[in-house]
Amino acid sequence: MIAEVVFHLPISRGFDYLIPEAWGVSVQPGMRVLAPFGARRLVGYVVDVRASSRIRHLKPLLRRIDDEPLITPVQQGLAQQTAQAYACTRGEVYANMLPAALRVRSSPPQESTAPEHESPPTLTSQQAAVFDAFRAAIVSRRPHTFLLHGVTGSGKTELYLRVIAEALAQGRGGICLVPEIAMTPQTIDRFRRRFGDEVVLWHSRLTARQRGEAWGAMKAGSRRVVVGTRSAVFAPLAAVGCLILDEEHDPSYKQDQTPRYHARDVALARARLEGAVVILGSATPSVESYYEAQRRTYRLVCLTERINQRPMPKVEVIDMRDALAHRHRAVMLSDRLSLALRRAVESQEQAILFLNRRGFARVAQCPACGAVRQCHACSTPMIYHATRQQLLCHYCNRSEPLGDTCPSCDRGYLRLRGLGTERVESELHRLFPGISVARMDTDAMAARESHRRLYDAMTSQQVGVLVGTQMVAKGLDLPQVTFVGVISADTSLNLPDFRAGEHTFDLLTQVAGRAGRGERPGRVLIQTYCPTHYAIQAASHHDYEAFYRAEIAMRQRLGLPPCLRLIELTVQGRKAETVERAAETLTRALKQAIGRRRIHLLGPAPHRVAMVRKTIRWRLVLKARRVAPMLEAIRAVLGETRHFHGCPVVIDVDPL
């Protein structure tokens, strides 16, 4: 017998090997084997077992690693489709979905919790109507996709829990995906209270051993409710009834390394294979998903009211140009924001201050020559962090002392400019002596259990003001928070990215949604130098529709997603001239391969951050209505490999 084997390599085809006679017929697709590969021995994945091969003199397999298929037939189908859709290989997808350390044979329970099951609250009439639609779809056992557009605090999570309970009642499992930073103790507790020991967690903070155990429990069917980040979409559950993406607009659902899949599209593919229901939930649906709902590919269902008839918070926009004209210098906190904050603190209510930039100041600039200190390995400014008293590169994590004189001109001394969360924190201590402030950003949250500690400090009222980056915008449900202040709405608005408006609208809506979730109503103040921008206006009026209309008109006019699809090619290398020449030659070759087909080709141009960790990057972008013809043209030029003239080429389908 012959086994066809694929490897964790950028080579898409499979290789045939002899199955040693002594093994009998025990090799099946989905098992891992050790096989000779050139001079090496590699772990590969069996994708087919056949009686014959067209190739003579086959080498025998060396060892069988698994006693039974590790990869389920559904996962094999998903790997095939993912590899095809994202121009990567099945081996790369398998390597991504499997935990590094597998304990397949032993599957002791993860952390065991007593199942003191919680009884579900009564649904509002809006929730009940939406749930009826979900239940009918699940019972039909046919694939369905819903876009659940529910305002912040409208009780989306309760619907997720009910849908999963429905799937379990039918003898099937459920997967609920959440963004990495929403993987908070609060979310986990809620699922555990409802489903007890059925819950299994899947995220990047698990140890290798925990991952192996989680995999074993899912595969054995002993735990059927998966709560996890992106790659949980591949979870080895035997039968899945529902796949939920909470905060479906979140960019963390797209993987930024090979395989560069989007969990939403993998979920849709899996639902088709298993007759499952997909629920995409958000208060700020991605423009892509809302577009599909408008075209009726997805069914749109809405929750327009908060639970318990709580009002949406009142949002006011503060024009910072006034403050600038008044005081002749930029200020961090306007008088209105300071006053509102003081009121909240004095009346024992909690406040959140949001600024989407960590660190103390933005950049270190020399007033004499104007030079900004950049990372030597990445062409991007370094950010000053006061607690470490160092400049830090947010791309490669390199740190350097600030130094006394400017390294460019040797005359001036560097001055810190701009704002970060650390600076806001220290300013608060200056303005409000004795105030208790906590900070939530990737620096402050690096330690294990830091989420749990912060959450406990907030719920027990030990902290008055929480300062944070976009981390505070997601997954936090703190009933005592009545005031939210946005220090600057412009940090995300001014990025050179066509999604800047969408990101700004999402962030403002989500962070505003943290206010007034309890008994007392919420108030939100947004500071900006662009008060008339449609994203800021729409967010201040809680008006998603208005935002979407303005945004989709812009995307249509400029031929941007979702109206057209994009593929981004990045040519990389160490030597600037080699990379530039390869990018130019590749562009010419692609133009030829495209011929008269309706595919736009933009570039080549240096990447926005042209160098990262000393790797030079040039990019070109293909635009067309459909992805398939673009991939054909790329394959015609690159063949089976992802190299061109000695430079690695990264292919990113639907880049974010």
Residues lying near Zn ion in the complex (CB under 5 A): 366, 368-369, 371, 375, 377-378, 393, 395-396, 398, 406, 408-409, 412
Q: Quote the least distance from Cβ 570 to Zn ion, whole Å.
A: 17
3-class SS letters over 555-594:
HHHHCCCCCCEEEEEEEEECCHHHHHHHHHHHHHHHHHHH
Q: Quote the least distance from Cβ 400 to Zn ion, whole Å.
A: 10
Count of positions (residues) in the chain: 656
Residue 612: strand pairing partners: 615
3-state secondary structure of 409: coil
Q: Torsion angle, CA of 400/405/410/411, rounded to 10 degrees? A: 160
Q: Quote the least distance from Cβ 358 to Zn ion, whole Å.
A: 15
Kindly tell me which of 65 and 396 has the beta carbon lying closer to Zn ion.
Answer: 396
The Cα 277–Cα 284 span in angstroms is 21
Nearest alpha carbon to residue 525 among 351, 305, 328, 307: 351
3-state secondary structure of 544: helix
* Amino acid found at 449: E
Residue 417: strand pairing partners: 363
Kindly tell me which of 388 and 581 has the beta carbon lying closer to Zn ion.
Answer: 388
Residue 50: strand pairing partners: 2
The Cα 182–Cα 553 span in angstroms is 31
Contact present, 394 and 354 (Cβ < 8 Å)? no
Q: Quote the least distance from Cβ 393 to Zn ion, whole Å.
A: 3
Q: Quote the least distance from Cβ 310 to Zn ion, whole Å.
A: 45
Kindly tell me which of 393 and 622 has the beta carbon lying closer to Zn ion.
Answer: 393
Kindly tell me which of 49 and 377 has the beta carbon lying closer to Zn ion.
Answer: 377
Kindly tell me which of 186 and 408 has the beta carbon lying closer to Zn ion.
Answer: 408
Kindly tell me which of 395 and 432 has the beta carbon lying closer to Zn ion.
Answer: 395
Neighbours of 296 (CB within 10 A): 8
Q: Quote the least distance from Cβ 404 to Zn ion, whole Å.
A: 12
3-state secondary structure of 208: helix
Neighbours of 609 (CB within 10 A): 12
User: Residue 122 is encoded by which pair of tokens?
Assistant: 């009564």
Q: Which residue has the tokens 């043209």?
A: 633
The Cα 99–Cα 87 span in angstroms is 22
Q: Quote the least distance from Cβ 410 to Zn ion, whole Å.
A: 7
Q: Quote the least distance from Cβ 239 to Zn ion, whole Å.
A: 46
Q: Quote the least distance from Cβ 395 to Zn ion, whole Å.
A: 5
Q: Quote the least distance from Cβ 72 to Zn ion, whole Å.
A: 41
Sign of torsion, CA 531 533 539 543?
Answer: positive
**Which residues in 383-416 are b (16+ Cβ under 10 Å) and which e?**
bbbeeeeebbbbbeebeeeeeeebebeeebebeb
User: Residue 159: in which H helix or E strand, if any?
Assistant: helix 156-169
Report in angstroms the alpha-carbon separations of 164 from 78, 245, 248: 22, 13, 17
**Which residues in 568-589 are b (16+ Cβ under 10 Å) and which e?**
bbbbbbeeeeebbbbbbbbbeb
Report in angstroms the alpha-carbon separations of 301 from 255, 265, 306, 311: 27, 19, 15, 21
Kindly tell me which of 401 and 595 has the beta carbon lying closer to Zn ion.
Answer: 401
Q: Quote the least distance from Cβ 391 to Zn ion, whole Å.
A: 10
Beta strands in 314-360 (DSSP E): 314-319, 350-354
Kindly tell me which of 63 and 415 has the beta carbon lying closer to Zn ion.
Answer: 415
Kindly tell me which of 390 and 459 has the beta carbon lying closer to Zn ion.
Answer: 390
Q: Quote the least distance from Cβ 403 to Zn ion, whole Å.
A: 11
Kindly tell me which of 221 and 407 has the beta carbon lying closer to Zn ion.
Answer: 407
Residue 339: strand pairing partners: none
The Cα 216–Cα 236 span in angstroms is 9
Kindly tell me which of 348 and 397 has the beta carbon lying closer to Zn ion.
Answer: 397
Q: Quote the least distance from Cβ 412 to Zn ion, whole Å.
A: 4
Q: Quote the least distance from Cβ 650 to Zn ion, whole Å.
A: 18
Kindly tell me which of 523 and 617 has the beta carbon lying closer to Zn ion.
Answer: 617
Report in angstroms the alpha-carbon separations of 437 from 69, 373, 418, 429: 52, 30, 21, 8
Q: Quote the least distance from Cβ 652 to Zn ion, whole Å.
A: 21
Residue 63: strand pairing partners: 34
